[in-house]
């Protein structure tokens, strides 16, 4: 998708600034490079006016740091002026690869540590920025979004806390349950679906797909992902199937009721390619169980896709499943930390989201509508038409 010039009909909210917290540096650099290139090439008679001061720069990343004391305590530091800036703070709460020293011991950073660092940086801004937007691809504590007993509501509390600290907008991707935004009904909250990016990646890496209901199906691995699968099936014109989890509610294992079986609802998958789409791959047990069930039903090729590839129990079980022919490709985004082991796998497809985030930031900086960016149907149709044309 090429940048259009509609943004230049409005004056930027303020000088653009990107803050990339630890663990988001690589994604932040890619986003920065896109915006630098676009603004260097963009022509406008207004670029020399005072309203566009600092509009074209070689770097939009603001220098920050979060040093820690030997006790594990920390502080946020902003190393340059941000007065009047339109700031976008990127944070990856799932990056477990980062460490810090605690009384001589090495600790890996947890989501709680990343969230605290985010608050430290917001506090260090001291209210000087004109607008603050937090881009948190994996929404902090998003799986603790509802109460089923005497439980905390961590995600709702975090959202309320960020807004109380002066955050104006929160952008996340594929929120586990978008209704959590009800905790901050008067504030900006966007949950973005990377549908176009997944379809583009699949069509780029697989050159012999038959995109019709006779040869391909979209599969929802559970009832929670059904809405997502329905959208994919509608925009691609494919049939959809769904699994639902039968659980043993008489027992609790690792904080949840264990899954007894995966039951399938849908038409026959025999001889068809299937695309299984979910919001996250955690341990991967459920996704692989679904793939195993589909193979038993004589599915042809199986592609696993999830916005967030956490792989909390490592890659060994996926390696074995791939060797056993349970699936053909795994697609996840670079919105969360990707381990070197994951990136080295031949069956892995990296879905790069940096350009899309850069488009969102560049557009929002002009206070322009992002509706077209959030609704990718036209782009999907164009990509599918081009794919079919190239196959002829």
pLDDT tens-digit readout, 70-97:
888 999 999 999 999 999 999 999 999 9
| Exposure letters 251-261 (e unless 16+ CB within 10 A, then b) | eeeeeeeeeee
Q: Please determine, for residue 225, whether its predicted confidence score (pLDDT) is greater than 60.
A: yes
Q: Please determine, for residue 258, whether its predicted confidence score (pLDDT) is greater than 80.
A: no
Q: For residues 208 and 349, give the distance between their C-alpha atoms in angstroms, rounded to a whole number.
A: 17
Q: For residues 76 and 122, give the distance between their C-alpha atoms in angstroms, rounded to a whole number.
A: 8
How would residue 54 be classed by pLDDT, with cut points 50, 70 and 90?
confident
pLDDT tens-digit readout, 159-171:
999 999 999 999 9
pLDDT tens-digit readout, 268-306:
999 999 999 999 999 888 899 999 999 999 999 999 999
CA 193, 197, 263 angle in degrees (round to 5)? 65
Going by C-alpha positions, the residue among 379, 115, 143 that lies closest to residue 279 is 143
Q: For residues 228 and 279, give the distance between their C-alpha atoms in angstroms, rounded to a whole number.
A: 9
Q: Which two tokens stand for residue 231?
A: 């959208």
Q: Please determine, for residue 47, whether its predicted confidence score (pLDDT) is greater than 80.
A: no
Q: Which two tokens stand for residue 25?
A: 């540096």
Q: Please determine, for residue 44, whether its predicted confidence score (pLDDT) is greater than 70.
A: no
Q: How far is CA 6 from the centre of its chain?
A: 26
Question: What global pTM score does this model have?
Answer: 0.91
Q: For residues 40 and 374, give the distance between their C-alpha atoms in angstroms, rounded to a whole number.
A: 25
Q: Which two tokens stand for residue 105?
A: 């011991």
How would residue 46 be classed by pLDDT, with cut points 50, 70 and 90?
low
């Amino acid at each position: 998708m090429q940048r259009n010039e509609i943004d230049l009909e409005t004056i930027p909210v303020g000088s653009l600034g990107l803050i990339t917290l630890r663990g988001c540096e690589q994604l932040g650099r890619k986003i920065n490079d896109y915006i630098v290139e676009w603004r260097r090439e963009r022509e406008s008679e207004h670029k020399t006016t005072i309203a566009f001061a600092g509009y074209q720069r070689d770097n939009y990343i603001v220098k920050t740091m979060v040093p820690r004391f030997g006790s594990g305590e920390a502080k946020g530091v902003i190393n340059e002026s941000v007065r009047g800036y339109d700031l976008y703070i990127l944070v990856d709460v799932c990056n477990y690869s980062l460490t810090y020293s605690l009384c001589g011991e090495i600790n890996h950073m947890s989501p709680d540590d990343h969230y605290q660092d985010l608050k430290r940086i917001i506090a260090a801004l001291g209210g000087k920025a004109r607008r603050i937007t937090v881009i948190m691809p994996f929404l902090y504590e998003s799986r603790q979004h509802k109460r089923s007993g005497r439980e905390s509501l961590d995600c709702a509390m975090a959202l309320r806390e960020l807004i109380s600290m002066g955050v104006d907008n929160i952008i996340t991707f594929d929120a586990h349950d978008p209704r959590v935004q009800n905790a901050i009904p008067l504030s900006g909250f966007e949950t973005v679906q990377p549908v176009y990016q997944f379809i583009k990646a699949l069509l780029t890496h697989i050159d012999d797909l038959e995109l019709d209901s006779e040869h391909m199906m979209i599969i929802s691995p559970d009832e929670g992902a059904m809405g997502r699968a329905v959208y994919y099936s509608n925009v691609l014109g494919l049939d959809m199937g769904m699994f639902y989890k039968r659980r043993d509610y008489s027992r609790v294992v690792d904080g949840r009721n264990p899954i007894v079986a995966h039951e399938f609802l849908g038409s026959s998958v025999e001889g068809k390619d299937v695309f299984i789409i979910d919001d996250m791959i955690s341990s991967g047990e459920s996704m692989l169980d679904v793939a195993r069930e589909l193979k038993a039903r004589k599915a042809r090729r199986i592609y696993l896709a999830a916005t967030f590839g956490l792989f909390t129990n490592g890659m060994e079980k996926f390696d074995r499943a791939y060797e056993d022919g349970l699936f053909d490709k795994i697609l996840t985004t670079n919105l969360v930390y990707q381990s070197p082991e994951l990136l080295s796998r031949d069956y892995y497809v990296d879905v790069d989201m940096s350009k899309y985030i850069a488009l969102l930031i560049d557009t929002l900086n002009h206070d322009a509508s992002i509706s077209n960016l959030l609704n990718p149907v036209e782009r999907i149709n164009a990509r599918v038409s081009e794919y079919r044309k190239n196959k002829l």
